[in-house]
Amino acid sequence: MANRNSNRLINKGCNLKRRKIYHQLNKPLTIMTLKEESRTVDLSYVLFTTLTAYFGPCLWNFLSRKNIVDKTVKQLDIYEMLKVMIAERKNDLHFFSTSEPSDTYNLETSMAGRQSVVHGYYGEISKHWMRSPLEVQVSSLSAPKFLKEENIPQLSGDMNKTEYVEAMKIMVKMYRCVKKFLGPVLRDYNLRNRGQACCDSEIDVQALLFDLLDEWHKNHLTKPNF
């Protein structure tokens, strides 16, 4: 039985596909000190809270007014929504009620900012945001319209406003734990395995986990013995 379960795990692992990993475009020329890195991690937590609690719902509400999002799909995927908005603005000069030549640039800058926060490009965060004091109160967050509009179909198991707020709190706390504790440990482990010195401030937990998965594949995935 144990051997059969192991074979299932191996076959399942063989079917895993590596997703495309993006890295920050401009690598920092000097590495951060641990103190600078810790401050930037704390700032990224504030920025992630802003993205999750305010920016995402605003994007969803805007796109829902234009009937671009499927209102029965209750997801706030900022990456996908920005991709849609960039494509729509390029195809329609009047996509916004007040359009400016800089619209596409601003949307692409927003996408780059989202990538920096989610993927741990701390050099970019420090460069563009460290001097901008921000205060965020999750208790006053914006809510997507699907939580309060009666004409939007409600599905079994949909969250109410209270449940949504609690889920947002859990999400931002999980982000903080991943970035402040898991990320640095994965980075140090990866560098030790490769015999490399730390040369930049990128800590992309997703990429580091894929590196671990690759290592596991090389060390453990062998042809099953039946």
Q: What is the mean pLDDT of residues 42-69?
A: 87
pLDDT > 60? residue 3: no
Go through 105-144 and write b for each residue having 16 or more CB atoms within 10 A of its CB, e for each that does not. Answer: eebeebbbbbbbbbbbbbbbbbeebeeeeeebebeebeeb
Average predicted confidence (pLDDT) for the chain? 77
pLDDT digits over 120-150, tens only?
Answer: 888 888 887 765 444 444 444 556 666 665 5
Amino acid at 38: S
Would you state the pLDDT for residue 65? Answer: 86
In sequence order, what are the residues at sequence separation of 6 or more whose Cβ sits closer than 8 angstroms to the Cβ of residue 45? 172, 175, 176, 179, 180
Contact yes or no for 51/78 (Cβ under 8 A): yes
pLDDT > 90? residue 86: yes
> pTM of the predicted model, to two decimals?
0.69
Would you state the pLDDT for residue 175? Answer: 92
Within 10 A of 11 (CB to CB), how many other CB atoms are there? 11
Which tokens hold the place of 12?
């399942």
* Exposure on the CB side of residue 226, measured as CA atoms within 13 A: 4
Q: Residue 12 — very low, low, confident or very high, per pLDDT cuts 50/70/90?
A: very low
Q: Write down the domain spans for the chain.
A: 29-206
Would you state the pLDDT for residue 6? Answer: 45
pLDDT digits over 163-216, tens only?
Answer: 877 888 888 889 999 998 999 999 999 889 888 888 778 888 988 888 888 888
